[in-house]
Amino acid sequence: MTDVKTQIDETVKANTVVLYMKGTKEMPQCGFSSRVAGVLNYMGVDFADVNVLADEDLRQGIKDYSDWPTVPQLYVKGEFVGGCDIITEMTLSGELDTLFEENGVGYDKEAADKIREANA
């Protein structure tokens, strides 16, 4: 498990935005992963995706790493942000925009506003 923890640690620190998910950003394999990947893709965020279904040790390892029981998990600048519900709330409140701005993450503000308008 130490190797998996090291691998996860290196991945979250080497990429500005990382989404640990079931499936890939092009082909999510669960509704929650699909929702978060869809938000990030729609907002034009450049992010690394890690498919936890490809490796059982990784699937458990990411839960241990973050002390968070579910996938997907979003990391920005090496910090755990949250899962599907948290990312959804942050998107709708504008907190995700602020997080991206504070960390120099490029995103489409207009797309973020459209998501909020559609869910108002």
CATH number, domain of 58, equals 3.40.30.10
Q: How many domains does the chain have?
A: 1
Across 54-80, average pLDDT: 96
What pLDDT is stored for residue 111 in this prediction?
97
C-alpha–C-alpha distance, residues 97 and 103, integer Å: 10
Contacts of 58 (CB under 8 A, 6+ apart): 4, 7, 8, 50, 52
How far lies 75's CA from each of 96, 97, 110, in Å?
12, 14, 23
pLDDT band at 1 (very low <50, low <70, confident <90, very high): low
Which range among 16-20, 72-76, 91-95, 116-120 shows the weakest confidence by mean pLDDT?
A: 116-120
The answer to whether 30 is annotated as binding is: yes
Residue 31 DSSP SS3: helix
For the chain, the average pLDDT equals: 96
What pLDDT is attached to residue 2? 73
Identity of residue 117 = E
Q: What is the mean pLDDT of residues 60-86?
A: 97
Q: Enter the tokens of residue 13.
A: 């620190």
Q: Quickly count: other Cβ atoms within 10 Å of residue 78's Cβ.
A: 14
Q: Of all residues in the chain, what percent carry a pLDDT higher than 70? A: 99
Residue pLDDT, tens place only, 18-44: 999 999 999 999 999 999 999 999 999
pLDDT at 57: 94
Domain that holds residue 111: 4-118
Q: What is the mean pLDDT of residues 61-67?
A: 96
**Sheet with 48-51: strands ordered across:** 48-51, 17-21, 73-76, 79-82
